[in-house]
């Protein structure tokens, strides 16, 4: 597809010939339609594109499905410890992506046997979650949230429902109260640290998240049926600080990506004529909509990242030791090599939305996220069966982020429910 109006804003990489002509990933006009960005990048650069992060810091964006799978499957070449990065001398203390890439002693940055130990604790702690009970808890949470706006006939679902429900479910799983000022502040700080808006301080917000989780760990000295207690009591013997860091990862992964998964699915159901009938019991199910969103509108668009252990080749590019690679999960899911003509196979779960390899989202976290998202969507449609958008579909706007895919707002209307 050739379109002279869709060419990317190129900029030279600082002192890096390989990054001449790289595209800045911040402030792109394509943030509203990232599929166009990925198509254009593929046309100009192939499966691995030179990009510039905030502050014109050079990195590589891995666009190809096979290439993302290769990177995530070869930890000996592309590792997670960000201390390998060859750009640290150019990173300022207030760099907005520090919460993502600044090394911390969490499961996200561990490697080898240490990673298997830490990820194993999380897996076993999450396996202790009763999925049927989680579904019942989520339905109760959904009912309470819906009751708070059902009588008005109007609601903004992003803030009033999609964001609130997965956070309350996640903190409840971890043994925290799902209501209260502390939980509300935790939700806001997680949003800021993961998807900061202008004027936000993501580093300070992430610090506050850590302080709240440390307080939670201090409170969990007794055996209780929750994720935090199971992690503290696991025979692997994680320290309190290791539990704190890994709980932050678990809660952050459970909240914003799941919230955007819920909202993106509701948007699809309310705007795509294939699903219009299904809202009232037609041929396409909520499950199919949830899965299609993971393929074509995945909540985590790009993930930073991996760092090259040594000089190597990837997608015809010379990757130097210490180079940063950004995993283009959304681009990989729509790679024309796997979708040569049109979208097909929506029932397949071979997408990379939960990443792949040893550092993928640990089992059974994707299943728990599915329980939360599916229950949220189904309960809302059951309680408010005539739900419709309150604006034209083209008036919906996406948050300006190349990392997360989520709407600013999702205003809807429905027949008021009188109790």
pLDDT attached to residue 290: 94
Report if residue 238 sits inside a domain: yes
Asked if residue 137 is part of any domain, the answer here is yes
> Is 70 exceeded by the pLDDT of residue 278?
no
Asked whether residue 69 is domain-assigned, the answer is yes
Residue 119, in any domain of the structure: yes
Helix (H, G, I), strand (E, B) or coil at 272: coil
The count of domains in the chain is: 1
DSSP 8-state class, residue 109: G
365/391 Cα distance (integer angstroms):
34
| Gap between the Cα atoms of 36 and 31, Å rounded | 9
Straight-line distance from the first to the last Cα atom of the chain, in angstroms, rounded to the nearest whole number: 54
Identify the band that residue 344 occupies on the pLDDT scale cut at 50, 70 and 90. Answer: very low
Look-up of token digits 């991996």: 306
pLDDT of 13 strictly over 50? no
Positive or negative, the CA dihedral 385, 386, 387, 393 is positive
Q: Is residue 419 part of a domain?
A: no
Q: Which residues pair with 49 in a beta bridge?
A: 61
Report the half-sphere exposure of 26 (CA within 13 A, side-chain side). 15
Domain of 54, in residue numbers: 4-413
Residue 342 has pLDDT above 50, yes or no: no
Closest to 236 in 3D by CA, of 127, 130, 122, 103: 122
Range picked from 14-18, 311-315, 363-367, 415-419 for highest mean pLDDT: 311-315
Q: Is residue 52 within 8 Å of residue 94, measured between CB atoms?
A: no
Residue with tokens 């189904």, as numbered in its chain: 378
Q: How long, in residues, is the chain? A: 419
d(CA 135, CA 412): 24
Mean pLDDT throughout 152-181? 88
Q: Which residues pair with 52 in a beta bridge?
A: 24, 58
This prediction's pTM = 0.86
User: Which among 166, 191, 168, 165 is positioned nearest to 179, based on CA atoms?
Assistant: 168
> Given a cut of 90, is residue 2 above it in pLDDT?
no
Quote the pLDDT of residue 303. 95
Q: Tell me if 18 is assigned to some domain.
A: yes
Q: Is residue 113 part of a domain?
A: yes
Model confidence pLDDT, tens digit, residues 346-404 = 567 889 999 999 999 988 999 999 999 999 999 999 999 999 999 999 999 998 888 89
Structure tokens at 143: 């009912």
CATH of the domain at 100: 1.10.630.10
Helices (H), 5-111: 34-45, 65-73, 98-101
Residue 4 DSSP code = G
Highest mean pLDDT among 43-57, 167-181, 280-294: 43-57
């Amino acid at each position: 597809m050739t379109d002279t109006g869709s060419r990317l804003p190129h900029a030279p990489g600082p002192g890096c010939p390989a990054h001449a002509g790289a595209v800045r990933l911040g402030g792109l006009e394509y943030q509203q339609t990232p599929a166009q960005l990925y198509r254009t990048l593929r046309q100009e650069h192939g499966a691995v594109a030179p990009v510039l992060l905030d502050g014109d810091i050079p990195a590589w964006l891995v666009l190809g499905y096979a290439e993302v799978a290769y990177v995530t499957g070869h930890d000996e070449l592309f590792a997670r410890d960000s201390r390998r990065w060859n750009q640290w001398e150019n990173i300022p203390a207030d760099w907005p992506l520090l919460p993502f890439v600044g090394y911390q002693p969490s499961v996200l940055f561990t490697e080898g046997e240490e990673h298997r130990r830490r990820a194993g604790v999380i897996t076993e702690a999450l396996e202790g979650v009763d999925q049927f009970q989680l579904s019942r808890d989520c339905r109760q949470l959904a009912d309470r949230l819906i009751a708070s706006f059902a009588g008005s006939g109007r609601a903004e679902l992003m803030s009033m429902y999609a964001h609130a429900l997965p956070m309350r479910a996640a903190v409840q799983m971890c043994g925290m109260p799902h209501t209260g000022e502390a939980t509300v502040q935790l939700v806001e700080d997680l949003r800021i640290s993961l998807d900061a808006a202008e004027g936000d301080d993501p580093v300070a917000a992430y610090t506050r998240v850590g302080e709240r989780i440390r307080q939670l760990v201090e409170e969990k000295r007794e055996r209780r049926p929750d994720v935090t207690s199971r992690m503290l009591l696991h025979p692997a013997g994680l320290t309190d600080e290791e539990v704190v860091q890994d709980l932050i990862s678990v809660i952050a992964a459970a909240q914003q990506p799941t919230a955007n998964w819920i909202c993106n699915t509701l948007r699809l159901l309310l705007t795509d004529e294939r699903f219009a009938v299904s809202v009232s019991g037609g041929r396409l199910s909520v499950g199919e909509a949830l899965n299609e969103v993971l393929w074509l509108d995945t909540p985590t668009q790009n993930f930073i990242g991996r760092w090259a252990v040594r000089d190597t080749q990837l997608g015809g590019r010379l990757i130097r030791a210490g180079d940063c690679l950004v995993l283009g999960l959304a681009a990989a899911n729509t790679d024309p090599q796997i979708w040569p003509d049109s979208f097909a196979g929506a029932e397949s779960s071979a997408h990379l939305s939960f990443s792949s390899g040893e550092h993928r989202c640990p089992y059974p976290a994707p299943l728990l996220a599915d329980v939360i998202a599916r229950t949220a969507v189904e309960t809302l449609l059951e309680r408010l069966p005539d739900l419709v958008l309150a604006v034209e579909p083209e008036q919906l706007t996406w948050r300006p982020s190349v990392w997360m895919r989520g709407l600013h707002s999702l205003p809807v209307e429905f027949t008021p429910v009188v109790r």
